[in-house]
Structure 1
């Protein structure tokens, strides 16, 4: 045997579900035959609450700062003084994002979708 070729006995590679004889979980099948958590439902993605959270993140990080950047006189047109607008405008998206994040996380831990 040359030094640049290796066999199965020369090196150890962990393959989950494979025994020393090469059988998958000792059944003689392939990795597709192993079902882990067969009684658990398939994940369906974000769900309704997850997509609401994604929308609020987009609103808070793109839409509201973009509106303030593109139309800086918008708070003045609404009748807010400058100092109040600069305090309130960052606080509203932060509050909204925090509330929606807690709402979606509590639903996720309860198992709701």
Structure 2
């Protein structure tokens, strides 16, 4: 769309479609950011610690705790497969929850 006040140079390679930039003189507004970590951030840190410290230690002591594993109705192999899934699901849930909560704020 060409406006009547736009000058045409006749050069199609340089044609900008009649757009004329008229700045308003105001600087662009910066989005508000927060430097606070918040308790959502600490929840994520806690889940990472569970995933990298608690679960590996639990996997190491799992053979010694076979009685507890059997009382839960699991075999040792099933416990080895299920134990790493716990922090994976929890970390995913906390990350999605935290992202949705930060978008709302």
**CA pair 74-46 structure 1, distance change in 2 beyond 3 A:** farther
Q: Residue 45 of structure 1 aligns to a residue in which SS?
A: coil
CA deviation after TM superposition for structure 1 residue 83, in Å: 1.9
Q: Does 1:76 align with 2:66?
A: yes
Q: For residues 101 and 59 of structure 2, what CA distance do their matches in structure 1 show?
A: 32
Q: Does 1:65 align with 2:56?
A: yes
1:50-97 CA deviation, whole Å, 9 max, x = no partner? 11111111111111112212x132552221202211221111111111
Map of 1:48 onto structure 2: 39
TM-score by length of 1: 0.55
Q: Which runs of 5+ in 2 are unaligned?
A: 1-28
**CA pair 74-108 structure 1, distance change in 2 beyond 3 A:** farther
Map of 2:86 onto structure 1: 92
Return the index of the structure with the highest Cα Rg: 2
Q: Report how many aligned residue pairs link the two structures.
A: 73
TM-score by length of 2: 0.59
Q: Which runs of 5+ in 1 are unaligned?
A: 1-35
RMSD: 2.2
